[in-house]
Amino acid sequence: MKLTKDKELKLEVIRHSAAHLLAQAIMQLYPKTKLTIGPATKDGFFYDMLPEENFKEADLEIIAARMKELVAKNYPITHEEISKEEARRIYKDNPFKLELIDGIAGETVGFSRQGDFYDLCRGGHVASTGLLANFMLTGLSGSYWRADQKNAALQRISGTAFEAKQELENYVKQKELAALYDHRKIGKEMDLFSFQEEGTGFPFYHPKGAFIINKLKDFIRNIWQTHGYQEIITPTVLDVSLWKQSGHYAHYHKHMYFCCIEEKEYAVKPMNCPGSILIYKQNLHSYRELPLRLAEFGHVHRFELSGVLHGMFRTRAFTIDDTHMYCAPEQLEAQIVSSVQTIDKVLTTFGFKQIHYAISTKPENAIGSDELWDTAINALKNGLSKAGKSFEIYEGEGAFYGPKIEVTIFDSMGRAWQCSTVQVDFFMPQNFDIYYINNKGEKQQPVIVHQALLGSLERFFGILLEDCKGHFPFWLCPTQIKIIPITEKQLDYANQIADKLKDLNLRIQIDESSEPLSAKIKVAQLERIPWMLVLGQKEMDNNTITLRYVDGKQEFGLNLEQVITKAKEVNRI
């Protein structure tokens, strides 16, 4: 689900103007700072600069206060064209701006002014600084001139801005919630995973985290089996020639890791497609086998700058539940119906009930005939409709090699995420010259549908962790039930209960520590164990159980059969 084009443009103008506002405050407070560039981004804006003395986090407050004063002054913002010669004179002490001026075509450059401040600028501003009240500064980080580590190290101040006060307040609230339920923080509390400097960006799964990832895989594998997908495993390291053929080497080179084997260059796979295609090519395929759905938990490595890594949300290695469906073109629609239904089922299982669908259509630089595109887009449209889903059209936003379905989910904090993928691909089949034998005995080219249900399992894990604030669905919890004898006198009774629950295949722990009840409960709560069976003298005497939920609600005097019935109910996927 996207903003309207109008709203998007409006936000861009506000945010770009806010970057100028930030720069104005900076130049008033720290006049020796050398400004570089200050663009709007998807979520806000930033300005990169070389300060005389490095800024500290605490400076942001001072800067924001000055920005507020500048808003109150409501300076008109004007824009003009000046000669390059004049611009060079103005910026004679700023090598960054001089370099920017050199890079601009023509004899003049754009120039904006507000009060005592001026900046090199292409234009697109609000009318005056008074319209920029709804901003906030969000962070201070390092960056490089032209994002190249070989160049000068700069500092980046980031922020965001909105049209309405309410929008900013919503944003702030979302940020606060996100910080409170940051998956890196909860993951540490629950001992799920860690990140370590020996492997920046590569997650280490501790036992409970590995358990959950394996459960997610089992869940997906089960869906694969139900729908006739066949699981394969392809190598992690493959010859560079393959990545040249696939086009990844040319277009994705910067994100790939390379190593050398017997003087030949190999790449650690950033994608799973070429491996799947090589397996497809090992056998001759008849139309009777199609759609052939080869699925893989493909562990891929993609380079990301250390500055953009973000816990499980953005790692340098992750596992995709990656299916490549080799279809006859006329099978596309039926496959899409099934794919959409499957995605819907998977996402709702995890509690994501608000799912938005859109189709991205043919872009300008597309390959493949209009006819093929029309067929495919119609298949996507009909597939979504037949699956009972409404959808938007994102005109011209498809990849050059085929249209796709964009699936957006919204978490409990209202944030939008894209996890599932359905991407039609005309290019790879052609590029790798794959075919099947049709019912007339002729060679024919299949279409490939790239499908992921969860996408990156690591990222999905992180999203789910924040969405449910660590309280995973019962079936997914590493420990589902903690039996808590109040004193050691109830330990035997606890063991008896555990023994009687054994055949249910539940994951049960007994707290055998000698801590007081309140401490035992606190530990179980921190571990986000959904059920506690609290056993005191009264429970033992009456042969009952107190069921305490992690949120503190309790049910007293349950007998074992009642607990079993409830457990069976809640343990279903």
For its own copies, the binding residues (CB under 8 A) are: 149, 191, 194, 196-200, 202-207, 209-211, 213-214, 221, 230-239, 241-242, 257-263, 266, 268, 274-275, 278-279, 282-283, 294, 299, 301, 303, 305-306, 316-317
Nearer to its own copies, 168 or 240 (CB): 240
Euclidean distance between CA atoms 402 and 375, whole angstroms? 11
Nearer to its own copies, 317 or 529 (CB): 317
Q: How far is the CB of 415 from its own copies (least distance, A)?
A: 27
* Residue 176 burial by Cβ neighbours in a 10 Å radius (0-12, 13-18, 19+): exposed
- Where does 74-123 have alpha helices with state H? 84-90, 95-103
Q: How far is the CB of 422 from its own copies (least distance, A)?
A: 22
Whether the bond into 291 is cis, omega within 30 of 0: yes
Spatial contact of 421 and 428, defined as CB atoms under 8 Å apart: no
> Both tokens of residue 342?
């499957």
Nearer to its own copies, 201 or 530 (CB): 201
Q: How far is the CB of 508 from its own copies (least distance, A)?
A: 13
Q: How far is the CB of 298 from its own copies (least distance, A)?
A: 12
Euclidean distance between CA atoms 214 and 192, whole angstroms? 13
Biggest CA pair distance of the chain:
94
- Give residue 294's Cα distance to chain centre: 24
Nearer to its own copies, 266 or 326 (CB): 266
Q: How far is the CB of 81 from its own copies (least distance, A)?
A: 41
Euclidean distance between CA atoms 421 and 399, whole angstroms? 13
Q: How far is the CB of 204 from its own copies (least distance, A)?
A: 6
Cα angle 263, 264, 265 (rounded to 5 degrees) comes to 120
Nearer to its own copies, 206 or 356 (CB): 206
Nearer to its own copies, 14 or 294 (CB): 294
Contacts with 73 (C-beta within 8 Å, 6 or more apart), sequence order = 115, 129, 130
Nearer to its own copies, 282 or 390 (CB): 282
Q: How far is the CB of 229 from its own copies (least distance, A)?
A: 9
SS3 53: coil
Euclidean distance between CA atoms 521 and 519, whole angstroms? 5
Residue with tokens 């996927």: 573
DSSP H/E element including 204: strand 204-205
Nearer to its own copies, 16 or 208 (CB): 208
Q: How far is the CB of 441 from its own copies (least distance, A)?
A: 16
SS3 348: helix
